[in-house]
Amino acid sequence: MREYAFELAMCAAVEADSDGLVARQLGSHTRIVDVVEVRRGPEFSARADITAEAIPDLAIESDVGVGRARYWKEAFDAPADRAESAVDRAVDIGFFAAERRNCRRYVRQTARYPDWFGSLRAFENKPDLGRPGDLQLQLRKDVSLGLFDEVVLVTESYVTGAHLNRIPEAVGVWRFFPEEGRFEVVREATPLSTDDPGIAVLDESPARVDVEPVTADEKARYRRRIAERAYGKGWRPDALPACERAEASGPAFHPDDALPYCAWKGRFVDPARECGADCGGYDPADPPEADVEAARARHSSWDPDPDGRDRRQVGLDRFAEE
């Protein structure tokens, strides 16, 4: 559980220094990454104008364009059920506008999909290097695939030369002091070749290593998917604990950060796992006043409520026919 508290504090510190956005627990090709920072690309604002949500990959890759509306079934190279749910979602969030013609649904993009993100940085959190788990394998996977421009290990432990020798050379190592929200760079990360093909390490045992080649185009798609998920998800938990002991931020953080701080435990807590009748300090109450979306908007480049396009009414215009 302390890892969770460490991770929230670390996300707040990365976000405070970033021109883009931060998200937790994102699936990459081979594993779940603790924290991802998405830096701004040249058209970040255009992306923020489209929707606050993640845009489905299938909708982006489809032949649906901005100009002429197309019959949805002719614009997707995917099974009909997957294509249809991508269309539904794209309409709901305002990336597609839909119209009905002869009982068929025609769709078009409300805006061209922009070139909106720059580099991606992955953080692997390991507060205690004395309990590394499968850290080395995870980091080797990241370096071998080269999906992220930089990979950084973040720890609270004192980092020795022996630790550094066990960590792949390209991986950066930062110490983080959660009480102060401060980083100390022990070793800079070496940028990885994200434009080249990579090797996905699927599994590794003393006797064999299962790998899969990944093309540069596939990597570009995975990167876009990660950036989109990060855009939609962020890192703050959706709700704060319904407990008298809960507060809406920790002592070293902005009071309006909408983070689940527990005065009884003296740290951030994971409301879904730690809070409730099983906790010795639980005292039922309304959750502290906090607006998670507003906090995210205040502290990052994410826009919770973009305006402008003809999207809201088309989202409601869902119909079941062809």
Residue 274 contacts ligand SF4 per CB under 6 A: yes
Q: Which stretch binds ligand SF4 (CB under 6 A): 24-32, 67-75, 200-208, 239-247?
A: 239-247
Q: Is 181 helix (H, G, I), strand (E, B) or coil?
A: coil
Taking residue 193's Cβ as centre, other Cβ atoms within 10 Å add up to 11
User: Whose structure tokens read 């800079």?
Assistant: 188
The first and second tokens of residue 28, run together, are: 């990459």
Buried b (16+ CB within 10 A) or exposed e, 127-153: bebeebeebeebbbbbbbbbbbbbbbb
Beta bridge partners, 165, equal none
Residue 71 contacts ligand SF4 per CB under 6 A: no
* Residue 186 one-letter amino acid: V
Residue 270 contacts ligand SF4 per CB under 6 A: no
Nearer to ligand SF4, 245 or 299 (CB): 245
Nearer to ligand SF4, 67 or 280 (CB): 280
Among 49, 114, 264, 315, binds ligand SF4 (CB under 6 A): 264
Residue 170 contacts ligand SF4 per CB under 6 A: no
Nearer to ligand SF4, 93 or 243 (CB): 243
**CB of residue 3 vs ligand SF4: minimum separation in angstroms?**
15
Among 262, 290, 292, 295, binds ligand SF4 (CB under 6 A): 262
Residue 246 contacts ligand SF4 per CB under 6 A: yes
Residue 241 contacts ligand SF4 per CB under 6 A: yes
User: Whose structure tokens read 């596939």?
Assistant: 218
**CB of residue 171 vs ligand SF4: minimum separation in angstroms?**
33
Question: Half-sphere exposure of 96 toward its Cβ, with a 13 Å CA cutoff?
Answer: 36
Distance between CA 322 and CA 308 in Å, rounded?
29
Evaluate whether 60 touches 109 at the Cβ level (below 8 Å): no
Residue 269 contacts ligand SF4 per CB under 6 A: yes
Distance between CA 28 and CA 278 in Å, rounded?
34
Distance between CA 128 and CA 190 in Å, rounded?
23
Query: E strands, 126-181, where?
Result: 150-155, 172-177
Q: Write the interaction track for ligand SF4 spanning residues 278-307; mark x where CB under 6 A is met and - where it is not.
A: -x-xx-------------------------
Residues interacting with ligand SF4, by CB under 6 A? Answer: 241, 243, 245-246, 262, 264-265, 269, 274-275, 279, 281-282
